[in-house]
Structure 1
Amino acid sequence: MSATVRADLAALLARYDDDTWSAVANRGLLRRARKDLGTVAVAVQHETDVAVELTVGAHTVTMTADGPATARCTCPSAVVCQHVVAAGLWLAEHPSGTGASPVGADDGPRDGMVDVLHDELMALDETALRAAAGLAACRSAHQILDDLDDAPTVTRGRALEVRFPHPALVARYPGGGVAGVVLDAPVRAPERYRVAAVLAWQRAHGLVLPPPAAPSARTRPSAAEESLAAARDRVRASVVAVLRDTVRIGVSHLSPAVVDRLTTAAVGAQGVEYHRLARALRGVADQADLVLARSARADDLALLDEVAAAHALVVALDTAAADGRAPAALVGRARTAYEGTRPLDLVGLGGVPWRSGTGYHGVTAVFWSPTLGRMLTRTDARPVDLAGFDPRARWVQPAPWSGLSSPADTAGRAITLTGARLSADGRLSGAGPVSARATPLDGSALVDRLPVRTTWETLGGDPVRGLTGAGDAAEAWVVLRPASSSDARWDPAEQVVRWQLADGEGAVLDVELPWSRLHAHAVDRIERLGDSLPADALVVVRVRRTRGRLVGEPLSVIDPARPADPVDVLHFDDVPRRTRARTGLVAKLLAAGTPDARSAAGTATDGAGPSADGVAGVPAPVAVLRSLVERRAQRGTTALPGDVLRVEVAAAHVRLRDVGFGVFTPPASDVDPAELLLRDLFVIQQVEQAYA
């Protein structure tokens, strides 16, 4: 019996690669353990039916078939120590006390063993999971998976792997049951994530275990839950009413009373823990306030889009409540949660200063993480009325992470970040003892580490996320290698500089930057740069959808030929004046001795301005319906007979169905005109996303 335990344990340990050992302990302990194997005697002291005892120098390690995670050592360490790692490495090489090759010790995956591991995970039922981790961990594991916006990804290698999007966690299963699941980052209550990894693997292969049944005492909702449900019903009804009233009145003819109602609705939504709806309503109220004040940053069509999205969200919440559900993807979370993660390798791509319509300003640094395969951001922000904070000055002031002199020190460097905390949407926290080590990169080494796109066909990611896809702000940043670029054009009416980047197939991405005091430096830099990009240069942009088309916001230019400081951060860096003549509006105004018109407009255009080019790439019938909806919603529906609007919309729907858009169904005869417009506009937004 003991020989079987030792053989099984040796086979399990033989499937541990460096990444798995580093997840069990850390890379430093792994290095020390390998050194110990050359200087310290290791031997099997005793074997039982359930465990193997090994001596590692003066210490004794006891290891069961579950593997290193539950091993015990006589040294004072409270966690997996170097003696446990050394014992595991030795046992993997000596499965029977001889020099025979260990099972599964080849460099590549063995299909037969991988199939065995797969079968082990698929055979774990609710009883086995509960026995291994406990009832509370099983309930929490189901909730973890249900709350994720994107399902974990599963892969097969020497071990089976499950990658969680948040927290940034990789669970490896080399064998050994639930306790044998190895997590590569510290998390609270790790048994929850071990069970979640098993459940995720099963779901990815067609097996969905039901969550444990609720206790009999909880089959009926409590008085507090019933009170919350009733309050939520009232809030949803009031939100629907105010959103539809904005269209009945007309988004171009709003009154202060409507803005007050929107603000009150946002407070009410927050009070009943509809966090996502509250945030959406605050955005609508802010935009409505700008429209009411006739601000240069106001855009009634942008307001209408936000109203339609908020209306769709509250209708979805209404439908979920009728089914007795409150999905986390729709409800949202009270605050951003930051989770600890393993050491991260980052590449700094630059930074951008910004100012929001809600009274905050700050600076955001952007990073590519080869470790996680995604973009990450780090933001410093303060209220605009807080004295002493300047987003542009913050770029060169002391950094929040020890080991860096300033955020500017991250651009164009490889950074190893230890002790970092990360949110689900890719934001790095500056709190806590986080240390960074920066290594300069030349241009070619930097480019080799980046996910470079040479065609614009797949820009924008998943075409239709809908309401349950919360989106990821960091995912909007992309690295492009344009085949050519146009000269920059300044639009004096919109106060926007426009720059076109073309790929090798002729597709064009409009890069736009609105004038503001914070953007003035970058606007000037783009006008200087124009069509004279260095050969094979990369451009880092943030891609957003604007009424059915993709628009890029510039961050930096990367020159592969530069041996040092290859990242040119457009918002902050200065470069020598180019030899070619400046062709932008600044040059013309300076030559004429005329003050720059942007100086007078700076205070009025701190936010992103509307697109001047309208909808591009969307089928004409969709654009026609959007135009109809916008025209009617701007003027209001109160004085318009409902039948007139329904006839107009029905005719537009017929044209859309004739060209294959079956999603536009005939409007019901009793539908409220405002509701009809809002529902149509939300569907139009989804179609435009698909064509962006």
Structure 2
Amino acid sequence: MSLRALITSFDDDALVALANKGLLRRAQKAVPDAQVLHFDDDEAGVQTGGQTVTIPAGGPQTATCDCPATGVCSHILTAVLALRDSPEPTDAEPATPEAPTVSASDWLAGLTADQLRKFAGADFDGAAVLAATAHVDQRGGNAQASFPSPEATVTFVAGQDLKAALYKGPATRKRLVVAAGAIALRDLAGVARDAPLASPSAAPAPDSETMDAILRALEEAIGQIFHGSAVLAEERLLDLAISAKVQSAPRLMGQLMTLSTQAGWAEAGDVRFEGGRFLAALSRTYALARAIRLCPEDTDLLGQARRSYQPVADMTLMCLGLHGWTTPNGARGLTAYFLDQETGEHRSATVARGAGMDLAFTAYQAYSNPLWGTPAASRLSGTFLVLENPLCAEDGQISTGDKTRAKDIQPLRTSDVQNSPALIRRWSDLRADLRVRMGTGLRRAAAPVPSLILPHSISEPQFDDISQRYVWQATDTVGQTLDLTATPDDRPRLAKLHTQFPGAVALLVLTSVVGDDLIHEPVTLLLSSLGDVEAVDVKFRDLPAGSALARAKAGLLQGFQRLTGSSGTPLQTAFPAQVLSQLAEQCRHLQPDTLARLAAGAEARQLLVLADRLEGLKTHQAPEDILATAYLCQEAMMMLALAD
């Protein structure tokens, strides 16, 4: 490939991957004054800003500049931009026409498995697991794969090999991430793996030796994080997460990856790292690992979707909405939520793929695909239906098998929703309902819990810097508030949420445990249309603007609340959160007086088990004691969050 063709492959996205957006903007301003000194197949020279840049045949990654800056400077980017826009010489001898440049994705798809294994070396097995978590973005002839843990991106430029891939992330993980990105792109292209990943349910359960290694790593992470060796925890936790021996426990795998990411924040001094939150996450993972060691076949603990379905009588259901989701380990799917008209119970049905399975599958695809004989699953949202020949599991999950058929599908009537006993208008009733349905301890986080609510009003969103989520305050009929949250990716589709109440019929929300927080996520807005219900599934559609009357009422209500103050839920969880934060400080420097004060505070609040644990820490600070205390703190937070 000629140097000119290679330079052309470096579009703006590739240059950002090579450096950053700030340097690129600076470089773009200098292009008009740049002078191309020479440009042939072997080398190019450019003068810009009083500096001389030389780009050899290897491309911009191997470019040099005589300025004092290290690495890729703005002068190198300016040189690439100037060369990219420079016309071909008119007096040169006609060159042999080059073959069209093969896109990065096509080139990766053409690699043999042996070539990929040779590049990855000992990282190949881990890369095969990590590939399932990749987010792939095709950018013309180039392609980029990004990963949540480790926080890294790799950009493949057309015409360059694996060693020349543009990488951003932990230096020690370059080969692992580049190989994982290559595997993810090959999966997307339909290239079969020479050793396909086993599904979580087919993989063997983690053995006691593996679980002991995980428990030791979690215990050691306390000292590593709080005494300046966070990189050791970051790498060890990631290695365990992508180990083949943990693939049958996707829930544990996801938590280990999250911990590795947080350890990376600690190492980098990132503002997102908070000691108390890390300790809470560490204690949850430790408790889960100990539970799996005792019950290695428990599917709730493992996080497997394996269920035993049994035939039941035909069911009359209200479909309240559909939700698309992904997990940290790369599993993704579509879940439909129903209300059983005979029993009043919430039920669900899920179409999903495990990590590394059927990479072409997406929630958007499932939303448009047939389900139970309907042309598209999306058509079920906001309807009444009768389900023939259903198969159900003990937890209320309905099988999506082909033998089941949906019939007599009719739009929901507004009155059906408004008169439903499942519609919750007061947040005290919501908390009481969640206490019954969410379970306790490790079972609480097994699956999100759906609820149908009717807010009196919803405030405009605010961004929470700590959780990195948008928050809307929903007020009920007696003035109590409930925080509704969404990720930045979902925020644009929810832009009009605060204009919907009063006026909309209801809102379907999912309650789940994320970190040490109990979050309520909007899933489907139910609107009234000539007496029928129109369901807007917010993962797939933007919310419409609320009516002018609803917007006016919402503005008046919010203004009134600012003047009078809202009677929101008291901050009952503040004390356990304070204890977690102080525990993190104890991990750095032991302060017995602080522990005694916290123990007295816990006893005064009737948190007696927590008080005993805090007293014990004054003399015994073994890692398992610290983690047990942190786990009690977050359990107290969850119980208080659901208290009346």
Match of 1:415 among 377, 380, 385: 385
Which residue of the partner structure matches residue 683 of structure 1?
632
For 2:570 and 2:278, locate their aligned partners in 1 and report how far apart those are by CA, in whole Å: 20
Residues 1:439 and 1:307: Cα distance change in structure 2 (over 3 Å): same
How big is the shift at 1:445? 2.5
How big is the shift at 1:660? 2.5
Residues 1:290 and 1:690: Cα distance change in structure 2 (over 3 Å): same
For 2:273 and 2:549, locate their aligned partners in 1 and report how far apart those are by CA, in whole Å: 36
8 Å Cα contact 2:385/2:410 also seen in 1: yes
Match of 1:406 among 376, 389, 399: 376
Matching of residues 67-78 of structure 1 within 5 Å: none
2:221 matched to 1:246? yes
For 2:600 and 2:280, locate their aligned partners in 1 and report how far apart those are by CA, in whole Å: 23
For 1:374 and 1:469, locate their aligned partners in 2 and report how far apart those are by CA, in whole Å: 19
2:555 matched to 1:628? no
8 Å Cα contact 1:413/1:439 also seen in 2: yes
Match of 1:657 among 603, 610, 625: 603
8 Å Cα contact 1:290/1:298 also seen in 2: no
Match of 2:363 among 380, 391, 402: 391
Q: Which has the larger radius of gyration?
A: 1
8 Å Cα contact 2:346/2:450 also seen in 1: yes
SS at match of 1:571: coil
CA RMSD of aligned residues (A): 4.1
Percent pairwise identity: 17
2:281 matched to 1:306? yes
Which residue of the partner structure matches residue 474 of structure 2?
501
Matching of residues 230-269 of structure 1 within 5 Å: 232=208, 234-235=209-210, 237-250=212-225, 254-255=230-231, 259-260=235-236, 263-264=239-240
For 2:616 and 2:573, locate their aligned partners in 1 and report how far apart those are by CA, in whole Å: 21
Residues 1:548 and 1:337: Cα distance change in structure 2 (over 3 Å): closer
8 Å Cα contact 1:509/1:550 also seen in 2: no
Matching of residues 201-216 of structure 1 within 5 Å: none
Letter aligned with residue 638 of structure 2: Q
2:410 matched to 1:439? yes
TM-score normalised to structure 1 length: 0.51
Which residue of the partner structure matches residue 199 of structure 2?
none
TM-score normalised to structure 2 length: 0.54
Residues 1:335 and 1:387: Cα distance change in structure 2 (over 3 Å): closer
For 2:471 and 2:272, locate their aligned partners in 1 and report how far apart those are by CA, in whole Å: 20
Residues 1:450 and 1:391: Cα distance change in structure 2 (over 3 Å): farther
How big is the shift at 1:546? 5.7
Letter aligned with residue 477 of structure 1: P
How big is the shift at 1:287? 0.8
SS at match of 1:359: coil
Residues 1:557 and 1:297: Cα distance change in structure 2 (over 3 Å): farther
How big is the shift at 1:299? 5.8
For 1:408 and 1:260, locate their aligned partners in 2 and report how far apart those are by CA, in whole Å: 43
SS at match of 2:580: helix
For 2:255 and 2:494, locate their aligned partners in 1 and report how far apart those are by CA, in whole Å: 32
Offset from partner CA, 1:353-373 (integer Å, 9 cap, x none): 233221233332222222443
Q: Which runs of 5+ in 2 are unaligned?
A: 1-203, 552-568
2:350 matched to 1:379? yes
In terms of mean alpha carbon deviation, does 332-341 or 407-416 score higher? Answer: 332-341
How many pairs were matched up? 407
How big is the shift at 1:269? 7.2
How big is the shift at 1:426? 3.7
SS at match of 1:566: strand
Which residue of the partner structure matches residue 332 of structure 2?
361
Which residue of the partner structure matches residue 346 of structure 1?
317
SS at match of 1:559: strand
Letter aligned with residue 684 of structure 1: C
SS at match of 1:444: helix
8 Å Cα contact 1:280/1:310 also seen in 2: no
Which residue of the partner structure matches residue 285 of structure 1?
256
Residues 1:450 and 1:349: Cα distance change in structure 2 (over 3 Å): farther
Offset from partner CA, 1:228-253 (integer Å, 9 cap, x none): 99963x55543332111111211785
How big is the shift at 1:337? 1.3
Residues 1:582 and 1:677: Cα distance change in structure 2 (over 3 Å): farther
Letter aligned with residue 478 of structure 2: E
How big is the shift at 1:504? 1.4
8 Å Cα contact 1:263/1:281 also seen in 2: no
SS at match of 1:653: helix
8 Å Cα contact 2:301/2:442 also seen in 1: no
Match of 2:494 among 523, 526, 541: 526
For 2:326 and 2:362, locate their aligned partners in 1 and report how far apart those are by CA, in whole Å: 11
Q: Which runs of 5+ in 1 are unaligned?
A: 1-227, 584-614
Matching of residues 109-124 of structure 1 within 5 Å: none
How big is the shift at 1:335? 5.6
For 1:668 and 1:570, locate their aligned partners in 2 and report how far apart those are by CA, in whole Å: 47
For 1:510 and 1:626, locate their aligned partners in 2 and report how far apart those are by CA, in whole Å: 22
SS at match of 1:667: helix
2:505 matched to 1:537? yes
Which residue of the partner structure matches residue 623 of structure 2?
674
Which residue of the partner structure matches residue 111 of structure 1?
none
Residues 1:678 and 1:269: Cα distance change in structure 2 (over 3 Å): farther
8 Å Cα contact 1:478/1:540 also seen in 2: yes
For 1:683 and 1:652, locate their aligned partners in 2 and report how far apart those are by CA, in whole Å: 13
Matching of residues 99-248 of structure 1 within 5 Å: 232=208, 234-235=209-210, 237-248=212-223
Residues 1:466 and 1:313: Cα distance change in structure 2 (over 3 Å): farther
2:489 matched to 1:513? no
Offset from partner CA, 1:339-391 (integer Å, 9 cap, x none): 12312222111222233221233332222222443222233334589554443
For 2:571 and 2:515, locate their aligned partners in 1 and report how far apart those are by CA, in whole Å: 10
Letter aligned with residue 392 of structure 1: Y
8 Å Cα contact 2:237/2:257 also seen in 1: no
Residues 1:254 and 1:483: Cα distance change in structure 2 (over 3 Å): same
Match of 2:400 among 430, 436, 442: 430
For 1:500 and 1:229, locate their aligned partners in 2 and report how far apart those are by CA, in whole Å: 42
Match of 2:422 among 446, 451, 468: 451
How big is the shift at 1:508? 0.4
For 2:319 and 2:225, locate their aligned partners in 1 and report how far apart those are by CA, in whole Å: 46
Residues 1:269 and 1:312: Cα distance change in structure 2 (over 3 Å): farther
8 Å Cα contact 1:512/1:552 also seen in 2: yes
